[in-house]
Structure 1
């Protein structure tokens, strides 16, 4: 009878322990669930800076201290369970209270750091590398000599267009014409090589918007990419009226086809650090492969950064018989075009009649 009573007591004890364990387990599960829930949302974001080499436990502690998670230890265990934390990227993050743990993890994995506010700079169409260097010096304080040296010597650019530049000792500035004119935003610590690469990558991007057959069009004209960019730069420096770009392009190709010197003033102006208000006869006699009064064919490379419109005109010129053009003197900045030298002389005389 006593043994039976002892058995009953033991059974009750076992049942009590079992119930306790279940209750404790349920409480533990409930606790874990609660600690893994997002903290209450708030409109005010918090910034967290992760230094290189910071471990996941320290990151968890920082998150808890900032009020972005409920429990650092639970977050650390969650990372181990999800096999996360090894790909977190260093940087400054702006996180919103109320984000889930998975959203926080994704932000760290993807490196969604706070974008440092930069300064905008606009590189105008038709600028040379030297003018670009001076512009960037004004905006960011970068030494123009360092900028020009980087443009001339740096080799690790990632832009596709960079690979199209020939290794030609006659090039006055190696990257001339390849720095696409656009508005850029850079931080004060942006390196010159990164600025240069960004401008060439922008050129790559613009070229992607051309018709798919544009490279075949160049091949049909027996033109290299570098030659096309050179023509585009000549158009850019010669044309002010939009609809004349293809006409001037046609004149350039017509003269090249006939073996005539291009006689473009802008190629002589390119020989000077600062453009002259007026070229004299002695200037036209300056010996340089860029002087298209002395040498037939194209100069060794571009003389400025062409706009996308000039690039299009260089690829798709107007089909005309024009061989000459002269600037109107009526303030329109337009040109008078001619097929013959006689017509050209008449246009020059007509142009001079305008005040």
Structure 2
């Protein structure tokens, strides 16, 4: 009996010892890592699973034991809401603090820069503006734009035009005019892709866009070309649809558009005032010498100009001239004789 009692006592002691050792192992494994004097930065990529996150946290010294962290997550039904990003974990972070940070997506604040693309800007103007602000070199931006135009990268679903030797810049008109916020150091290519995606987003938001475009028997390149002409010709929003209608009237006549903005785009440097000799410039964009639309957009059109090009206002007008009274509105005419009278009237 004594022998049996001793054996039972020994077994009990061993069990207690094992339980104690196990408890100590778990307790010690879950304790915050000591000895760090600064935050540990960990990058969690998109699509990384909970198990891989735990392994990474152990590898980078944020936690002591990945297996225990996984068990803790499973027991507490955590981990499904972890967010990707670059994190900084403070020294001696507890499991609760780590989980909270990952759930909230409390990533390291990124230094950003605001970039504004004004309505009616050309790609070259956008590039020059970014260069002047020290954000990206003009040549690098234009080179990236040409590269994307020739080989559309993954992630862009917008129907970009096919390369055309007559087109000055393949992405002209496709970089939406808006204020963007980019992380400092963002590449020119990523900036351009973001601007293209914004164009696609805005087009999708237009009700029945595809149906209206199809009804006009136009492709996107042609629509954005008309919209860019409207953008460069019109300041007052209320006149955009009417001017778009005049453009279509001249195209359907057919009459040459004879829009000064196309000459300005064709010139190496825009001029404050055009002369008759400028109207003779040899360029496919010269709407005084060539029938129909220019080969592509001449600027980044606003959403208002795009809508006007998509849904123009019907009229019998074929001409318009800007008033010189500071209102920046136009006088419209049905005939050339009436247009000549309006030119004189606009000077008053």
- After TM superposition, the score normalised by the length of structure 2 is 0.82
Is 1:37–1:100's contact at 8 Å kept on the other side of the alignment? Answer: no
The residue that corresponds to 1:179 in the other structure is: 175
CA separation of 1:28/1:336 partners in 2, compared to 1, >3 Å: closer, same or farther? farther
The residue that corresponds to 1:336 in the other structure is: 331
The residue that corresponds to 1:206 in the other structure is: 202
Cα distance in 1 for residues equivalent to 2:43 and 2:312: 55
Out of 323-332 and 137-146, give the one that drifted further.
Answer: 137-146
CA separation of 1:196/1:32 partners in 2, compared to 1, >3 Å: closer, same or farther? same
Is 1:48–1:63's contact at 8 Å kept on the other side of the alignment? Answer: no
Q: Find the residue that maps to 1:236 and give its secondary structure.
A: helix
Cα distance in 2 for residues equivalent to 1:302 and 1:237: 11
Cα distance in 1 for residues equivalent to 2:107 and 2:16: 43
2:244 equivalent among 249, 256, 265:
249
Report which of the two structures shows the higher radius of gyration computed on alpha carbons. 1
The residue that corresponds to 2:156 in the other structure is: 159
The answer to whether the aligner puts 1:144 opposite 2:135 as a matched pair is no
1:117 equivalent among 111, 114, 123:
111
The residue that corresponds to 1:319 in the other structure is: 314
CA separation of 1:175/1:33 partners in 2, compared to 1, >3 Å: closer, same or farther? same
CA separation of 1:146/1:34 partners in 2, compared to 1, >3 Å: closer, same or farther? same
Uncovered stretches (5+) of structure 1, i.e. residues with no partner: 1-7, 40-44
CA separation of 1:252/1:55 partners in 2, compared to 1, >3 Å: closer, same or farther? closer
CA separation of 1:117/1:81 partners in 2, compared to 1, >3 Å: closer, same or farther? same
The residue that corresponds to 2:193 in the other structure is: 197
The residue that corresponds to 1:4 in the other structure is: none
The residue that corresponds to 2:228 in the other structure is: 233
CA separation of 1:324/1:58 partners in 2, compared to 1, >3 Å: closer, same or farther? closer
Shift of 1:100: 3.2
1:127 equivalent among 121, 124, 136:
121
CA separation of 1:47/1:303 partners in 2, compared to 1, >3 Å: closer, same or farther? same
Shift of 1:178: 0.7
The answer to whether the aligner puts 1:289 opposite 2:284 as a matched pair is yes
Cα distance in 2 for residues equivalent to 1:225 and 1:38: 60
The residue that corresponds to 1:5 in the other structure is: none
Cα distance in 1 for residues equivalent to 2:330 and 2:285: 23
Cα distance in 1 for residues equivalent to 2:225 and 2:152: 23
The residue that corresponds to 2:17 in the other structure is: 24
- After TM superposition, the score normalised by the length of structure 1 is 0.80
CA separation of 1:258/1:35 partners in 2, compared to 1, >3 Å: closer, same or farther? farther
Is 1:95–1:104's contact at 8 Å kept on the other side of the alignment? Answer: no
CA separation of 1:32/1:343 partners in 2, compared to 1, >3 Å: closer, same or farther? farther
Shift of 1:273: 3.2
Is 1:36–1:101's contact at 8 Å kept on the other side of the alignment? Answer: no
Q: Find the residue that maps to 2:321 and give its secondary structure.
A: strand
Is 1:47–1:92's contact at 8 Å kept on the other side of the alignment? Answer: no
Cα distance in 2 for residues equivalent to 1:238 and 1:131: 17
Cα distance in 2 for residues equivalent to 1:245 and 1:205: 22
Cα distance in 2 for residues equivalent to 1:50 and 1:225: 40
2:58 equivalent among 57, 60, 78:
60
Cα distance in 1 for residues equivalent to 2:102 and 2:85: 14
CA separation of 1:98/1:78 partners in 2, compared to 1, >3 Å: closer, same or farther? closer
